[in-house]
Amino acid sequence: MPLPTVILPGYFESAKSYQKLEQSLKEIGFPAVTVPLGRRDWIPTLGGRSFINILQKLDQTVKNVLFEFNVPQINLIGHSAGGWISRIYLGELPYSGRGNDKSLLCNGHKLVANLITLGTPHFSQERWTRRTIDFVNQNYPGAFYKDVNYICVAGKTVFGNKKLGSWLAYNSYLLTCGKGNTWGDGITPIEAAHLEGAQNIVIEDVRHSPKSPQRWYGSPDILSTWANYLS
C-alpha cells in the first residue's frame, strides 16, 4: 500500500478547495488528507508575518496521519505557497519569521519520503513573502535533503504580456522572477516553480488555482503526470 499523502493548501486557500484532489488521489489508490486550514488561518501571516501557525497545523496533521496509518513516513504535496512552507517544515533550523518572538523546529525531512510542489514560487521578489522565502533558499537551497525526493511541477499555459488576457500573468511573473514576458501557469512562472536537483516537470494547459474553471494541477486527467511519484 502506498504511503499516505498530506496536502498543504496554497496561500489563503482552505482545505475545502482540495476536496476533489483528495478524492481523486484516493480513487487511484493513494490515501490522502488535507491540512484542515480555513481562510482565517492565513490572516496572522499577512504583511509578511510569520507562518508558524500554518507549520503547526501541518505538523499536527502529519503526526495524526502517521499514527492513523501506522507508518514511519508520509508523502507531502504543497500547492503554491504550500510548497515553500513545506520546505521549511523539512528543515532542521528553528523558524520564527517576522513579528513572532517564538520559534518552531519541525525537522520534518525524516518523516517525508516525497515532496511534490505544484505551481510553487520557490523564489520571489514580492516584498511580503520574500523574507520567508529567502530564509528557505539560504538555509535549504534546491533539493536540499537527499533522503527526500523532490518533484516540482510547473504549468506552461499563459505567456505573460501587457495585453488583455495575459496582463495578470505578466505582473505576477514580473513580481516573482523580475521578468513578465515568460511562460507559467498564469500566476507562477516556470523558472520559479523548479528547484535545482529536483525532478522538474512542465505540464501544458494547466491553471494555477484549484478554483479555476479550466484544468489545474489536481484535475483527474492531469494526476497521472505526477501522482506516480507518490508510489
The residue-averaged pLDDT of 17-43 equals 97
3-state secondary structure of 125: coil
For 93, other C-beta atoms within 10 Å of its C-beta total: 12
3-state secondary structure of 126: coil
187 and 119 in contact (C-beta within 8 Å)? Answer: yes
| pTM (two decimals) | 0.97
Provide the pLDDT for residue 165: 82
For the stretch 67-126, pLDDT in tens is: 999 999 999 999 999 999 999 999 999 999 887 778 999 999 999 999 999 999 999 999
153 and 194 in contact (C-beta within 8 Å)? Answer: no
Phi, psi (rounded to 5 degrees) for 93: -110, 145
Phi, psi (rounded to 5 degrees) for 103: -125, 160
Which residues share a beta bridge with 91? none
The residue-averaged pLDDT of 9-21 equals 98
For 209, other C-beta atoms within 10 Å of its C-beta total: 18
For the stretch 141-186, pLDDT in tens is: 999 999 999 999 999 999 999 998 899 999 999 999 999 999 999 9
Q: Is the pLDDT of residue 140 over 80?
A: yes
Question: Is residue 128 very low, low, confident or very high in pLDDT (cuts 50, 70, 90)?
Answer: confident
For the stretch 174-230, pLDDT in tens is: 999 999 999 999 999 999 999 999 999 999 999 999 999 999 999 999 998 999 999
DSSP designation for 140:
S
Count structural domains, the chain.
Answer: 1
Q: Which domain holds residue 59?
A: 5-230
For 118, other C-beta atoms within 10 Å of its C-beta total: 31
Provide the pLDDT for residue 229: 95
The residue-averaged pLDDT of 50-71 equals 97
- The label of the residue with cell 499555459 reads 157
For 136, other C-beta atoms within 10 Å of its C-beta total: 21
DSSP designation for 92:
S
Helix residue spans in 127-186 (DSSP H): 127-139, 167-177
Tell me, what CATH number does 35's domain have?
Answer: 3.40.50.1820
Identity of the residue numbered 33: V
Provide the pLDDT for residue 1: 79
Q: Residue 49: how many CA atoms within 13 Å on its side-chain side?
A: 14
